[in-house]
Amino acid sequence: MAWLSLLLFLPWFALLGALYWLFPRQPRDAARRWFDGLALLLALVLSIVAMLWGHHIGVVQSDAGPIWRQVLAVLYAYGAFLAVMVAAILLRTAWLAQRATKAASKPVHGSS
């Protein structure tokens, strides 16, 4: 039943993941695609783990209603997904800036 939570959020995760993948448009080399793919995979896996954990916490709380399991599962899954995406955006921004600085500081061959 916890998987219903993930199914409800998959379109939103897909939209956020697509925006993350598409922007910024450049540079788009193999290292960037690898980093972005790994970040998206990690976000999905940790979202599933957090969803199951949130559902379990909802199950063991005897005083909570049956809907509470689903609410916790969604909140934990969404929080894990966003945490990974924010960390990936910050890391990727720093990494791309560092690469641009290195590229700008390289001497141009053939110019006098």
Summarised one tens digit per residue, pLDDT across range 57-82 is 988 987 878 888 888 999 999 999 99
* Whether the Cβ atoms of residue 70 and residue 58 lie closer than 8 Å to each other: yes
Tokens representing 2 are 């916890």
Mean pLDDT of 25-50: 95
Identify the three-state secondary structure at position 28. coil
Whether omega before 11 lies within 30 degrees of 0, making that bond cis, reads: no
pLDDT band at 3 (very low <50, low <70, confident <90, very high): confident
Tokens representing 59 are 């199950």
Per-residue pLDDT, 38: 98
